[in-house]
Amino acid sequence: MIDINAFAGPWPFRALPASLPADVATMLQEAGIARALVSSLEALFFEDPQIANERLAARLQPDGILLPCAAINPSLANWERSLRIAQEEIGARAVVLHPNYHCYDLESGPARALLAAAGEADLPVLIQLRLQDLRAQHPLCKVPDVSVDKAVDAAEAAPGTRVILGGIRFAEVLAQAARIRALSNVWIELSQVENVDGVRQAITAVGANRIVLGTGAPLFNVRSSLLKLEEGQLSNQERAAITRQNARELLAI
């Protein structure tokens, strides 16, 4: 299986079951994950997320299961340089955007330019809508969700860029289903799709070819994501698409 949305690094608000990349890799492997796209939690809080990207990349095993995903902040003047380093030096397989933590709008000129440039570089972009429920956040650090409407708008404005909606909720999947089906460059991941038989209903809404496995580990329990798949009673073809084939096409692995 391939996990499209995992993390590494310390989380300032609670102790995680794993934070070092090696420990995250072990945790994922024990759950049956063969490859995982991983981004830095430090990148959310560093003044320049590029430093966090480089710190993470230096800790990854060249032949390990973790694939680097570079967090880039388009509101910084060096975003083009960061994108070049991510592709040419770090070997990033994707870019992740955190508009809420980095305080910019997906409708801004730099954000749209970054999305287009990532597409030209053949790097998929994961737009992280949220990392945790607003109700569970520290009272002095309430980070609002990213608008799913704006995220889909951004994908629509960059048809040459493969876009993954990270941390999308079940209700948002249903609300955006028609738009997702109409766009050929949008996928959803499952880490925060929480509903009775949610995976089965998500397949009905957008199709198995638009869904990828994301665990959100170590912020979320890996096995809970896998249990969603079991609950969905997937056919062999659906399971293969969601857990392997779609991610391979997205990440070119």
Residue with tokens 């980070």: 143
pLDDT in tens, 30-45: 999 999 999 999 999 9
pLDDT at 32: 97
Domain definitions of the chain by residue range: 2-251
pLDDT tier for residue 152 given thresholds of 50, 70 and 90: very high
The encoded tokens of residue 133 equal 């429920």
The encoded tokens of residue 8 equal 């590494």
CATH hierarchy code of domain 2-251? 3.20.20.140
d(CA 111, CA 247): 24
d(CA 186, CA 180): 6
Average of pLDDT values for 178-202? 95
Instruction: Check if the beta carbon of residue 156 is closer than 8 Å to that of residue 180.
Output: no
3-state class (DSSP) for residue 71 = strand
pLDDT at 136: 80
